[in-house]
Structure 1
């Protein structure tokens, strides 16, 4: 595995299925649910089968040979940006 790919979000946590979609590794929530249910996704090295598992800054998600995480500093983006 190479270095962790940061996936910036606006809030402090994100559901696992949403993180996979936002990172661009799956196209839909249905596909996210399938890859998670098939045991293809790990969080901090542990198998995770809950699409709604909360991922927080500092945690690492492993899928398809890559590692994804949330940056420690959460973006403060408003509608005016």
Structure 2
């Protein structure tokens, strides 16, 4: 199974990451799966929803039978010295900063 990289800024908690990586639909489902021992970090079951993850950690979620269902790897954003994200494809070329300056 191909495990995709999911970029995060700095550290993230286990419950937040499996939601961010779309391994589960809601935080409630994440909490239940973690408590049930169906979530593994780097191949070891972890029942701590607040566990801090770091770049390179691999998180997998198993189905009820215990076989691997989905997974994702924590990846850091590339360090380009700029924390602002700019997506040129969705940028508004007609943006007028003076129009929005005093709102």
TM (norm. structure 1) is 0.81
Q: Tell me the secondary structure at the aligned position of residue 8 of structure 1.
A: strand
1:34 and 2:32 correspond? yes
Q: CA deviation at 1:39?
A: 0.6
Structure 1 portions without partners, runs of 5+: none
Structure 1 position 67, deviation (Å): 2.4
1:2-81 matches, cutoff 5 A:
2-9=1-8, 11-64=9-62, 65-71=69-75, 73-75=76-78, 77-78=83-84, 81=86
2:55 and 2:25 map into 1 onto residues whose CA distance is 23
Structure 1 or 2, whichever has the larger Rg, is 2
What is the rounded CA distance, in whole Å, between the counterparts of 2:24 and 2:60 in structure 1? 13
TM-score w.r.t. the length of structure 2 is 0.66
Higher relative contact order (CA 8 A, sep 6+): 1
The two structures, once aligned, show a CA RMSD in angstroms of: 1.7
Cα separation, 2, equivalents of 1:70 and 1:26: 16
Alignment coverage as a number of residue pairs: 77
